[in-house]
Amino acid sequence: MKRIFGYIGEYKWRLTGGIAMKTAGTLAELVLPLILAYMIDTVAPTRSVAALVWWGVAMVGVSVAAYLGNVFANRNASRIGRDVTERLRGDLFTKTLALSFRQADEVTMPSLVSRLSSDTYNVHTMLVMTQRMGIRAPLMLIGGVAMTFTLDPVLALVLLAVVPFLTAFVVFVSSRGVKLYTALQRAVDGMVRKVRDDHTGIRVIKALSKTQYESDSFRALNETVSLRERRAGITMGITNPVLNFFLNLGMTAVIFVGAYRVAGGHSGVGELIAFTSYFSIILNAVIAVSRIFVMLTKGTASAARIEEVLDLPADLLPVPGETEEDEAFIRFENVSFSYGGAPVLEDVSFSVKKGETLGIIGGTGSGKSTLVSLLLRFYDVDSGSVRVEGKDVRAYDPQALRKKFGVVFQSDFLMAATVRENIDFERNVPPENIPKAAECACADGFVSALEEGYESRLAVRGANFSGGQKQRLLIARALAGDPEILVLDDSSSALDYKTDALVRRAISKQYPNTTVLMVAQRISSVRGADKILVLDGGRAAGFGSDEQLMQTCEAYRRIYESQKGAEYA
């Protein structure tokens, strides 16, 4: 909660004002039963109508003061809760974008989504309701007890006999509740993951007739969430009945003892009526305190999950490094890497000159996409080095490094925006770059044929465009920034061989100074590259031109033979 308190501290003056108004309004409420007792036991016997009227007016005035104080304080609490949560959610979102891929893998994306949504909501509820009831309820409880001592200490002591039982019970339930709500949020993470995966792959699920299986799988997760929610709800829900039980026992004893004291002349009727009013105040305050404990329990569990992300150390920071003279524009030197298990890349070395095209080919799981991630410094190598223009990528500022790149990944996305906005991607590229890039990516033809051309809107995830059209738009986006390095990670899988060849030739002609890394499954996509890197089981099985590899690399020849029936460009 330390981080959360830091956010609240920035609103300390508004918080202080709200607390002052809430305190004033609560104290005004506490005075009302005392005035009532005085009117019944002292003013009424005098039969003075004027005195009764004046005291009645005083009660109305105190009631208005209590109303205004509570209204102001509640509105102030809502504003503070809103502002704190807005800043907290914004900082959490910014932090999620700054996480390294390794950190994001550890936390998991569904968990980050859950923390940004349900956890921040729980914290918001805790902040608002704690300000509203966290001041009022304890004051009403303590003030109510104090007022009962001013009325009749003996009756007050009878009521207070149940307090140790209440305290022990609340402490026990709260300690259990934090663990239960933490487990609940973890189950919610799993459900969010399932929903995201199913919505992403809905077409495949329908095509393979797996809707019933996925429904059953979701039902199991949903039942787990419901079970944990039920356990937490039962544990926290028992609070009110138990507290009421103990308080009602205490009140029964108070009425029993009070009746004898009134009959014996030790207490007045007005005092007993006021005492019962204070009992109602105390009872409501205890109920409110139990609700506060429920919200604090949920909010504390959620705050801990949020702080867990916010407190993650900055990763992949620039490290000192000298720029070396190197004829190669990109150089991998003895690079090895793993995701925490078996090595994905082992002792990989190669170099590419500026303006050259490097084709990267290999079987599934051979490390092709991992190699791209290391070049962009999404991860750091376990050993070896990756250099761009003679400088280790770890010595670059990450933003400065990535500005050199134009990238099309295997699983890329398009926004629900216009074609122009998707190609520009909020980079403010020169307007003339957009049609040039689209033409190079063979996208200008179908875009111009649209009724609104480049101002035509895409549906969510580009659902109103074909797979090949979407890939061409993504290639246009990568080219529009006029990158020094263009990475095409299996970006032609939805293109026919002719279009694939046209795109490759256009890139070579119109962007001659751009260094191209082309990751592909089809050998036809890389045969024309200046150099080809063949990966096999995470190792470099061959490196050279198509002609050289056909003579020296068995793995390359196997790929060629397996795809020989295709139309090579």
- CA–CA–CA angle 158, 161, 164 (5° rounding): 160
Q: What is the pLDDT, as a whole number, of residue 569? A: 42
The residue-averaged pLDDT of 502-519 equals 90
**Confidence band of 174 (pLDDT split at 50, 70, 90):** low
Per-residue pLDDT reduced to its tens digit, 35-62? 777 777 777 777 787 888 888 888 888 8
Write down the pLDDT at residue 440. Answer: 92
Instruction: Tell me how far apart the 2 most distant CA atoms of the chain are, in Å.
Output: 120
pLDDT at 335 (0 to 100): 95
Residue 494 pLDDT level (bands cut at 50, 70, 90): low
Distance CA 289, CA 334 (A): 63
Give the C-alpha separation, 1 to 357, whole Å.
Answer: 52
Signed CA dihedral, 94, 100, 104, 106: sign only: negative
The token duo for 183 is 């487990």
pLDDT tens profile 378-413: 999 999 999 999 999 999 988 889 889 999 887 677
What is the reported pLDDT for 203? 61
> CA 441, 445, 450, 454: dihedral to nearest 10 degrees?
50
- pLDDT for 204 equals 66
Q: Does 358 have pLDDT greater than 90?
A: yes
pLDDT at residue 566 is higher than 60: no
Q: Please say if the pLDDT value at position 202 is more than 80.
A: no
pTM: 0.69
pLDDT digits (tens, 9 = 90+) for 285-307: 777 776 777 778 778 888 888 99
The pLDDT > 90 percentage for the chain reads 20
Tell me how far apart the alpha carbons of residues 216 and 160 are, in angstroms, rounded to a whole number: 53
Report pLDDT digits (tens) over 128-142: 888 888 888 888 878
In 3D space, the residue among 310, 264, 234 whose CA is nearest the CA of residue 6 turns out to be: 310
- pLDDT of 567 higher than 50: no
DSSP-based three-state secondary structure for 99? coil
H-assigned helices in 311-430 = 368-375, 398-402, 419-424
| Mean pLDDT computed over 208-229 | 82
pLDDT for residue 265:
66
Note the pLDDT of residue 208: 61
Q: C-alpha 82: how far from its chain's center? A: 17
pLDDT digits (tens, 9 = 90+) for 246-270: 777 777 777 777 676 666 666 666 6
In the chain, domain spans:
2-310, 411-482
Torsion sign, CA atoms 147, 148, 153, 156: negative
User: Between 261 and 332, whose confidence is greater?
Assistant: 332
- Is pLDDT at 206 greater than 80 in this prediction? no
Q: What is the DSSP letter of 539?
A: E
Mean pLDDT lowest among 9-18, 260-269, 427-436, 482-491 = 260-269
- For 335-341, what is the mean pLDDT? 89
Do strands 357-362 and 515-520 pair parallel, antiparallel, or not at all (unpaired)?
A: parallel
Q: What are phi and psi of 379, to 5 degrees?
A: -135, 160
- Highest mean predicted confidence (pLDDT) among 78-82, 232-236, 275-279: 78-82
* Side-chain half-sphere CA neighbours of 59 within 13 A: 14
DSSP calls for 432-494: THHHHHHHHTT-HHHHHTSTTGGGPBP-GGGTTS-HHHHHHHHHHHHHHT--SEEEEESTTTT
CATH number of 2-310: 1.20.1560.10
- pLDDT value of position 385: 93
Angle in degrees, 0-180, between the axes of helices 12-38 and 120-151, rounded to the nearest 10: 30
CA 474 to chain centroid, in Å, comes to 27
Q: Record the tokens describing residue 365, joined without a space.
A: 């799981």
Residues contacting residue 213 through CB under 8 Å, at least 6 positions apart: none
Taken in order 489, 495, 496, 502, the sign of the CA dihedral is: negative
- Write the burial class of residue 27 (CB in 10 Å: 0-12 exposed, 13-18 middle, 19+ buried): middle
Rounded to 5 degrees, what angle do the CA atoms 23, 29, 30 make? 90
As a whole number, the mean pLDDT across the chain is 83
Q: Where is 82: in which H helix or E strand?
A: helix 49-98
Residue 428 corresponds to which tokens in the numbers above? 């403010």
* C-beta separation of 337 from 381 below 8 A: yes
Of the pLDDT bands very low, low, confident and very high (cuts 50, 70, 90), residue 207 is: low
pLDDT in tens, 97-152: 888 888 888 888 878 888 888 889 889 888 888 888 888 888 887 887 787 777 77
**Quick one: pLDDT at residue 360?**
93
Region 161-175: mean pLDDT is: 70
Determine the pLDDT at residue 404. 92
Q: Tell me yes or no: is domain 411-482 CATH 3.30.930.10.
A: no
* Mean per-residue pLDDT, 4-18: 85
Q: Which 3-state string (H, E, C) describes 238-251?
A: CHHHHHHHHHHHHH
List Cα–Cα distances, 438 to 264, 384, 420, 505, 515, in angstroms.
98, 38, 10, 14, 19
Nearest in space to 61 (alpha carbons), one of 85, 35, 87: 35
pLDDT of residue 568: 43
Which tokens sit at 115? 């923390």
Residue 102's closest CA among 353, 325, 381?
A: 381
